[in-house]
């Protein structure tokens, strides 16, 4: 795990967006895994700017989203589909053949989950997966207790997550059920960027990076992944025991490793 701690969200999002842009430039037909939530918004904004100001070409990428609420139509303002159109698909000019989200309105959710996995298998592997993290250590919507070997399936949200996500619902009526890629589906991405900002994420980050690998902290499974970068601001990093060591590693990074961000 590479823990990259920068002074604030802006700086961390800039570096994360540079890694994504470097991949898209070198491998125009790459497969990106997108997350939702407020954490990656700045990174997405920077990708949009790169497209409009530097003419970066996103027309050959394919994308898969991590998750979606069950029972929200795609035009519902709180659906992840709506979020993605507003913040990513629109600004990057992606066409419908390029992007994939689980269909939370499917009549047969189990079949939908199997078909989503099949699509990832056919078009994947995901070259680069972007992740946020919940306060309880969830990734995607894999709540504590999720099997580390899980694949796309129906999950029930915890009250903590429903409470945290209320802010994104005008009527505060957060669905109970979601479809999410599993922890194993996420782990099959070739590279993972996890972003976390603010005090509220400090505990989850400390457990993810330095705690035991356990289904009780789903993100801790990432300790098994060979290529994970964790982008943090100082607040989210504040409970890491080896904070200074991670900062030292980043300061002393050999120049050839920085090529990943160009």
Q: What share of the chain is helix, strand, coil (3-state, %, to 5)?
A: 45, 15, 40
Catalytic residue among 67, 68, 112, 164: 67
SS3 251: helix
* Residue 136 falls in the annotated catalytic set: yes
Out of 129, 161, 185, 208, which residue is the one contacting ligand GLP (CB under 6 A)? 161
Is 257 one of the binding residues for ligand GLP (CB under 6 A)? no
- 81 touching ligand GLP, by CB under 6 A: no
Size of the site for ligand GLP (CB under 6 A): 13
67 catalytic? Reply is yes
> In terms of C-beta distances under 8 Å and separation of at least 24 residues, what long-range contacts does 247-255 make, across chains too?
247/5, 249/2, 249/3, 250/3, 250/4, 250/5
Q: Shortest distance, CB of residue 198 to ligand GLP, whole angstroms?
A: 8
Nearest approach, Cβ of residue 178 and ligand GLP (Å): 7
Chain centroid to Cα 257, Å, comes to 23
Name which of 62 and 79 has its Cβ closer to ligand GLP.
79
Residues in the chain: 262
Given 112, 117, 136, 164, the catalytic residue: 136
Query: Is 100 considered catalytic here?
Result: no
Does 133 engage in binding with ligand GLP (CB under 6 A)? yes
For 42, 50, 83, the CA distances from 97, given in Å and listed in that order, are 25, 22, 18
Any contact of residue 172 with ligand GLP (CB under 6 A)?
no
Q: If binding is defined by CB under 6 A, does position 39 make contact with ligand GLP?
A: yes
Distance in angstroms (rounded) separating the CA atoms of residues 146 and 142: 6
Closer residue to ligand GLP in complex, CB, 48/218: 218
- Catalytic residue of the set 127, 143, 164, 233: 143
> Which of residues 5, 66, 120, 217 is near ligand GLP by CB under 6 A?
66
The C-alpha atoms of residue 94 and residue 117 are separated, in whole angstroms, by 21
**Cα 136 from Cα 158, distance rounded (Å):** 9
35 part of the interface to ligand GLP, by CB under 6 A: yes
Q: From 149, 48, 43, 46, select the one nearest 93 (Cα to Cα).
A: 48
Residues within window 107-126 making contact with ligand GLP, judged by CB under 6 A:
none
CB of 257 to ligand GLP, least distance (A): 27
67 binds ligand GLP, rule: CB under 6 A: yes
Peptide linkage before 204 cis (omega within 30 of 0): no
| Cβ(189)–Cβ(126) below 8 Å | yes
137 binds ligand GLP (CB under 6 A): no
Closest residue by Cα to residue 23 from 139, 170, 126:
126
Identity of the residue, 38 or 257, whose beta carbon is nearer to ligand GLP in the bound complex:
38
State yes or no: residue 38 binds ligand GLP (CB under 6 A).
yes
Residues marked as catalytic: 67, 136, 138, 143
Binding positions for ligand GLP, rule: CB under 6 A:
35-39, 66-67, 132-134, 140-141, 161
């Amino acid at each position: 795990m590479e823990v990259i701690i920068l002074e604030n969200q802006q700086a961390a999002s800039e570096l994360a967006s540079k890694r994504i842009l470097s991949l898209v430039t070198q491998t125009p037909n790459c497969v990106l895994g997108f997350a939702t939530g407020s954490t990656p918004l700045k990174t997405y904004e920077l990708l949009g700017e790169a497209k409009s100001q530097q003419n970066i070409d996103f027309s050959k990428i394919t994308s898969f989203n991590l998750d979606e609420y069950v029972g929200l139509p795609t035009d519902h303002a709180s659906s992840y589909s709506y979020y993605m159109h507003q913040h990513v698909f629109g600004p990057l000019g992606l066409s419908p053949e390029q992007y994939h989200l689980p269909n939370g309105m499917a009549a047969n959710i189990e079949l939908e989950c199997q078909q989503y996995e099949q699509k990832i298998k056919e078009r994947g592997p995901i070259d680069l997966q972007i992740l946020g993290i919940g306060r309880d250590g969830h990734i995607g919507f894999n709540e504590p207790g999720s099997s580390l070997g899980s694949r796309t399936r129906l999950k029930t949200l915890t009250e903590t997550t429903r409470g945290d996500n209320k802010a994104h619902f005008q009527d505060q009526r957060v669905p109970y059920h979601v479809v999410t890629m599993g922890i194993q589906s996420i782990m099959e991405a070739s590279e993972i960027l996890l972003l976390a900002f603010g005090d509220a994420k400090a505990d989850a980050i400390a457990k993810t990076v330095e705690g035991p690998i356990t289904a009780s902290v789903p993100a801790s499974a990432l300790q098994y992944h060979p290529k994970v970068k964790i982008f943090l601001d100082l607040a989210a990093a504040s409970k890491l025991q080896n904070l200074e060591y991670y900062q030292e590693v980043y300061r002393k990074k050999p120049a050839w490793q920085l090529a990943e961000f160009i």
